[in-house]
Amino acid sequence: MARKYANLNPMLQPKSVAIIGASANPDKVGHVIMQNYLNVGYSGRLYPVNIKAEGKILGYKAYKSVLDIKDRIDLAVIAVPAQIVPAVLEECGKAKVRSAVVVSGGFAEVGETALQDKLEEVARKYDLPVLGPNCLGVMDLKSRIDTLFLPTFKIDKPQIGGVSFVSQSGAVGSTVLDLISHEGFGLAKFISYGNAVVVDEVDILNYLADDPDTKVIIFYLEGVKRGREFINVARKVTLKKPIVIIKGGTTEEGSKAVHSHTASLAGSFEAYRAVFRQFGFTEADDLDDLLYFGKIFDTQPLTTGKRVAIITNGGGAGVLATDALYNNGLKLAEMSKASESALKKVMPSIVNVRMPLDLAGDADDKRFGAAIETIANDPNVDAIMVLALFQTPGADSRVAAQLIKYGTSGKKPLVVVSPGGNYTEAHKNMMESSGVPVYGSPSSAAKSLAALISYSIYREKAAHGNGNKIDG
Amino acid sequence: MARKYANLNPMLQPKSVAIIGASANPDKVGHVIMQNYLNVGYSGRLYPVNIKAEGKILGYKAYKSVLDIKDRIDLAVIAVPAQIVPAVLEECGKAKVRSAVVVSGGFAEVGETALQDKLEEVARKYDLPVLGPNCLGVMDLKSRIDTLFLPTFKIDKPQIGGVSFVSQSGAVGSTVLDLISHEGFGLAKFISYGNAVVVDEVDILNYLADDPDTKVIIFYLEGVKRGREFINVARKVTLKKPIVIIKGGTTEEGSKAVHSHTASLAGSFEAYRAVFRQFGFTEADDLDDLLYFGKIFDTQPLTTGKRVAIITNGGGAGVLATDALYNNGLKLAEMSKASESALKKVMPSIVNVRMPLDLAGDADDKRFGAAIETIANDPNVDAIMVLALFQTPGADSRVAAQLIKYGTSGKKPLVVVSPGGNYTEAHKNMMESSGVPVYGSPSSAAKSLAALISYSIYREKAAHGNGNKIDG
């Protein structure tokens, strides 16, 4: 292929969309997708296509073929049986459709490699960027596109935000999308790319590198086909924005499972890991980490310092948090003499003014506010972990308001740890939806801070010309 | 002291309770505690005591001193200012009160060591088992006792069940209690023991070893004073039931923080860890683990085999789960030929009958049920991890019902992984409250299975006389 990277603009910001396989029957995938476009309020030109179509589908004039549409189509969403996908793509090529998403399954993942080769051949012939097959496609709430064919009541509705999520696997994709929405952080783009026959991870990362709406990329990856291009694009992306990656198949047995899942070659994880580390990727050990790391990168400023202040309203939690910092390669900040004197003036005698700073079980918003203000301005402190246990008598929504005030100031990274049930969840939601990352345990918070700091150090080195340079 | 272990029966199953510091003023701790006893429906004899008392408190006749009560008092709950606690205890001693919980703070934890020594002296003089001071006390929903003085709306209400939770720290205690309730598993007893002046972790473990309501103990520990006794009691307990323990102060800096928190000496964690491992404790790395491990031990049978079957409705999740097994020292089961043939007969062609068993995104309750039934009876399988992604089209409450059916059968350990938002949470709650442990990620599920298997192996070795024997 002549072009190095597929142009995904028509796919992600389409002015005109044809839904091939659209149907008036609510049980059909093409119906669900068409309905989704209407639900998200897509404002471009929408064309349902169905070979058996007569009249209108969901109020829109239906076409028998994409060739019958007079308009230039930016994106064709294809939801027809696998066997006829190549023929449909051929028509798209002839109609000069600019991009296609094939949600249909039934290709290499079930052994139909010849059919998949045929699909690829047609796509190459017309130089058509095709996403899939066997994928969920794309979602972008800002462009108001949504090719997902899942029951909407099963997945929480995401807000618009700075996290783009890329997944080779559809099921992992929908699960993490649901978690992103539930956690309350905002989605820029969701791209599920399935069998990656034409458009692959390299094309997607290249697109997201320059996407102004994407602040952080989180990524479920099983395998990479174009190694050198992947490295080049990865290097480019991580100089601009963090990539949090979870690799499926890090163990030998997991790697075998990858092969039977998407027919990808997982390859040696050590080789991947070396690349990830060299080029500033943030590795997630599990799905949890994707979310933990995603939300700190989305909301908090970078810092290369490792001195973390701990402010708590529970002594035992402060002990566990201190352990968690050291277990993650960070250290407990020592506050300056100036902070110490300032705090001694305002804190009651039961508060022992030292790190970890235990504000005691009756700490209220005033005590939290005074502590955080002083510590946030302390030059000996690089980042702040606040343990706000909402089970205690003094902790309420005013404490949450203080944490929102400082956690969204953008001065120093601030993370909150608030484990608990319904009352705590309500406060967690207030904070998360305002842009403060909240964790359920000291160790997940410490791990996330360590990831942020590690990436910050990579970026600083790279900016000073000490980055790793490899050209393709 | 002559007695080796304090007798905690009167404290945890009291037939008569005096609340010293009880008050008609709702702002007083003594009022909250009295109200809690009424709320939980305590059916024994209740006596409010207050030096300034006139008439009744919350409908009960009030006494000026415990000495004025004619009845024999099993438990005195003491919520009066620290300075007068020794005098109040002296009266308890004279009145032959059988046990006391001192919730008041203001002792060694704020430098008042002389006052704490005085408290101890009185307790020793009367051989009075005193819990605290500086603690939340005890909760037992079966005995209907609750000395906690926390706002009830801040903590989810626990169900009655098999998990007893012991915490040196009050704030960690209330937080984990809230999490236990929120997760939906049942509480046997909650004991927060604070400064551990008289009743300490050794007494508490000794009591719980023989408590028929306690199936598993989860424990937040900062330090141990009586090393040899601790080892003896630990050995006794772990032969009968699992202890999941989180140690505060595992790092040098964390250990310093312990000292400033409860004035305990955390000691070398390596020494603790050696004891924990030798005597079959299950170590938790963080608060999350306490819950993860607690719920598998509470609900699932023991097994010494490490062959884990994975059943999933998402291929990518199956890959991550396979990695998680091997990362936790477990292995993927290979199904028997008989299971393979049986499944090939009932599964649709898109299901590749091998491990991890990917039932595909449209798997419904019938497909899940058939798969689990076959695998549960497969002699090559020791335990089962089911990844039920509720975002997929076929997963609904009937799938949850199948998982409840097999997850509560007690044949082989079964864990479920269901990460997600509101729709998933609803199904998670159904399963958890029915006794099926549900996890948010493959790695937390694998880690919990590994903990169960590791403890099972310890128990089997100990039963065959290969256990570690140390006598005091």
pLDDT in tens, B291-322: 999 999 999 999 999 999 999 999 899 999 99
Percentage, residues of chain B above pLDDT 70 = 96
Q: Do B249 and A323 touch (CB under 8 A)?
A: yes
Query: Nearest-CA distance from B313 to chain A in Å?
Result: 8
Q: How far is B110 from chain A (nearest CA, A)?
A: 7
CA distance B240 to B325: 27
CATH superfamily of domain region B150-299: Succinyl-CoA synthetase domains (3.40.50.261)
B153, B154, B319 ranked by CB distance to A258: nearest = B319
The distance of A167 to chain B (nearest Cα, Å) reads 9
Q: How far is B45 from chain A (nearest CA, A)?
A: 29
**Does B325 contact A at CB distance below 8 Å?**
yes
What percent of chain A has pLDDT above 90? 73
CATH of region A301-459? 3.40.50.261
Contacts of residue B449, defined as CB under 8 A and 6 or more positions apart, other chains included, come to B296, B308, B325, B328, B330, B383, B385, B413, B415
Chain B residue with CA closest to A108: the answer is: B350
CB contact under 8 A, A320 and B248: yes
d(CA B384, CA B378): 11
Q: pLDDT for B346-367, tens place per residue?
A: 999 889 899 999 999 889 999 9
Torsion-angle region of B111 (φ positive above 0: left; ψ -120 to 50: alpha; else: beta): left
Q: B447 CA to chain A: closest CA distance, Å?
A: 12
Pick the CATH number of A1-134 from 2.60.120.10, 3.40.50.720, 2.60.120.1440, 3.40.50.300: 3.40.50.720
Give B97-111 pLDDT, tens digit per residue.
999 999 998 998 888
DSSP result, B134-161: SS-EEEETTTTEE---S-GGGSPPPPEE
Minimal Cβ distance to A286: which of B150, B178, B320 = B320
Contact B445, B324 (CB under 8 A): yes
Q: Does B260 touch chain A (CB under 8 A)?
A: yes
Give me Rg for the CA atoms of chain B.
25
**Predicted local confidence at residue A175, as pLDDT:** 94
pLDDT at position B466 is: 53
Instruction: Write out the E strands in B21-119.
Output: 45-49, 56-57, 60-61, 75-78, 100-102
The answer, yes or no, to whether residue B119 has pLDDT greater than 70, is yes
* pLDDT for the residue A5: 85
Q: Which residues in chain B are closer than 8 Å to A394, comparing Cβ atoms?
A: none
For chain B, give the percent of residues with pLDDT over 90.
73
pLDDT tier at B1, thresholds 50, 70, 90:
very low
* pLDDT 10s digits, A412-470: 999 999 999 999 999 999 999 999 999 999 999 999 999 999 999 999 999 887 544 43
Among B59, B73, B70, B72, smallest CA distance to B20 is for B73
Question: Rounded to whole angstroms, how far apart are CA atoms A223 and A219?
Answer: 12
Boundaries of CATH 3.40.50.261 in chain B? Answer: 150-299, 302-459
Mean pLDDT computed over A356-362: 92
The verdict on domain B1-135 having CATH code 3.40.50.720 is yes
Question: Which positions in chain A touch B179 (Cβ < 8 Å)?
Answer: 419-421
Q: Which residue has the higher pLDDT, B400 or A231?
A: B400
Query: Which residues in chain A touch residue B175, judged by CB atoms under 8 angstroms apart?
Result: 314, 317, 389, 391, 419-420
Q: For A99, how many CA atoms within 13 A lie in the half-sphere containing its CB?
A: 21
- Asked whether the beta carbons of B289 and B137 are under 8 A apart, the reply is no
Provide, for chain A, the percentages of residues in helix, strand and coil under a 3-state DSSP scheme, each rounded to the nearest 5.
40, 15, 40
pLDDT score, position B383:
98
Q: What are the residues whose beta carbons fall under 8 Å from the beta carbon of B158, sequence distance 6 or more?
A: B139, B141, B177, B180, B181, B186, B187, B190
Average pLDDT over residues B145-155: 84
* Residue B338: pLDDT band with limits 50, 70, 90: very high
H/E stretch holding A138 reads strand A137-140
Average pLDDT of span B212-228: 92
Q: Residues 83-122, chain B: which have Cβ within 8 Å of A? A: 110
Checking if the pLDDT of B472 tops 50, the result is: no
Interface with A, mutate which of B153, B176, B187, B323 (most A CBs under 10 A):
B323
**Inter-chain CB proximity A315 and B156 less than 8 Å:** no
What SS3 class is residue A437? Answer: coil
- Among A171, A177, A332, the residue with its CB nearest the CB of B316 is A171
Per CATH, the number for B302-459 is 3.40.50.261
Peptide bond into B379 cis (omega under 30): no
The 10s digit of each residue's pLDDT in A304-337 is: 999 999 999 998 999 999 999 999 999 999 999 9
Residue A53 binned pLDDT confidence (cut-offs 50, 70, 90): confident
> What are the tens digits of pLDDT across the range A281-312?
999 999 999 999 999 999 999 999 999 999 99
pLDDT score of B266: 54
For residue A246, list chain B residues with Cβ-Cβ distance below 8 A.
320
pLDDT score recorded for residue B267 = 64
Range(s) within chain B of domains with CATH label 3.40.50.720: 1-135
Q: Residue A60: count other Cβ atoms within 10 Å of its Cβ.
A: 16
Question: Crossing angle of helices B442-463/B315-327, nearest 10°?
Answer: 40
Percent of chain A past pLDDT 70, that is, above it, reads 96
Average per-residue pLDDT in chain B?
92
Q: Is B267 on the interface with A (CB under 8 A)?
A: no
pLDDT at A329: 97
pLDDT at A2 over 60: no
Residue A265 has pLDDT above 80, yes or no: no
Contact A346, A373 (CB under 8 A): no
Q: What is the pLDDT of residues A62-82, one digit of tens each?
A: 999 999 999 999 999 999 999
- Tell me which chain B residues have a C-beta less than 8 angstroms from the C-beta of A421: 155-156, 178-179, 181-182
Instruction: Please report which confidence band the pLDDT of residue A266 belongs to, taking 50, 70 and 90 as the band edges.
Output: low
A259 touches chain B (CB under 8 A): no
